């Protein structure tokens, strides 16, 4: 009888392990609903980057983007370090927007997902919208590195500058 219980226990553990592994595998890729939410979230943050609820959603989104296996974001070290150099009070929003906007570019342009420079150009444009919105409410929160990127955008040289930095 103890063999029978052991066998049943082993079978139950096996079934539980199979169900858990299926659940984990199901979570390895993003869902269509998640991708739709992320696409909608990026422009909302561009318009209202200081909104606490949107920032919580963005934080959750970026954590999930890091987990999923089906969306690959090519981070350009030079651009990322420029954004990190901002050292502003709102650097978390800036960095998060960069990651989210990069992912949104990949989702919306799967045929161009391998073009890291293009993804970074799109992400930086989104970041500059966030930065502009922050400055509208907090005009003293300037960042030297973001001001430089904004100048490049205004001069029409942002794309070539990022392509040069990102290769």
Same domain, 162 and 80: yes
For the stretch 40-97, pLDDT in tens is: 999 999 999 999 999 999 999 999 999 999 999 988 888 888 787 667 788 889 999 9
Same domain, 59 and 79: yes
**Residue whose token pair is 């739709």:** 36
List C-alpha distances in Å: 134 to 1, 91, 94, 158: 70, 11, 10, 20
Same domain, 52 and 126: yes
Same domain, 95 and 136: yes
Cα separation of 29 and 56, whole Å?
Answer: 21
Higher pLDDT, 7 or 132: 132
Same domain, 61 and 77: yes
Same domain, 43 and 65: yes
Residue 26 is encoded by which pair of tokens? 């199901």
Same domain, 146 and 107: yes
- Smallest CA-to-CA distance from 125 within 106, 92, 97 is with 97
* Sign of the alpha-carbon dihedral angle for 116, 126, 91, 49: negative
Same domain, 46 and 20: no
Under 8 Å between Cβ of 113 and 119: yes
Cα separation of 161 and 155, whole Å?
Answer: 11
Same domain, 19 and 62: no
Same domain, 65 and 138: yes
Same domain, 22 and 51: no
Which pLDDT value is given to residue 29? Answer: 94
Containing domain of residue 1, as a range? 1-29
Same domain, 110 and 59: yes
Identify the band that residue 28 occupies on the pLDDT scale cut at 50, 70 and 90.
confident
Higher pLDDT, 91 or 1: 91
Alpha helix (H) residue ranges in the chain? 2-26, 32-47, 52-67, 77-84, 91-108, 116-137, 144-155, 158-166
* pTM of the complete model: 0.81
Total count of domains within the chain:
2
Indicate whether 105 pLDDT > 90.
yes
């Amino acid at each position: 009888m103890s063999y029978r219980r052991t066998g049943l226990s082993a079978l139950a553990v096996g079934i539980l392990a199979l169900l858990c592994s299926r659940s984990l595998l199901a979570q390895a890729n993003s869902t269509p609903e998640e991708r739709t939410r992320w696409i909608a979230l990026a422009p909302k943050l561009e318009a209202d980057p200081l909104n606490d609820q949107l920032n919580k959603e963005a934080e959750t989104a970026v954590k999930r983007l890091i987990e999923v296996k089906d969306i690959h974001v090519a981070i350009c070290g030079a651009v990322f370090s420029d954004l990190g150099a901002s050292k502003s009070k709102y650097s978390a929003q800036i960095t998060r927007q960069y990651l989210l906007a990069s992912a949104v570019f990949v989702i919306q342009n799967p045929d161009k997902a391998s073009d890291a420079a293009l993804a970074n150009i799109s992400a930086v444009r989104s970041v500059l919208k966030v930065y502009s919105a922050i400055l509208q409410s907090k005009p003293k929160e300037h960042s030297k590195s973001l001001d430089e990127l904004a100048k490049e955008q205004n001069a029409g040289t942002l794309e070539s500058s990022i392509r040069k930095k990102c290769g």
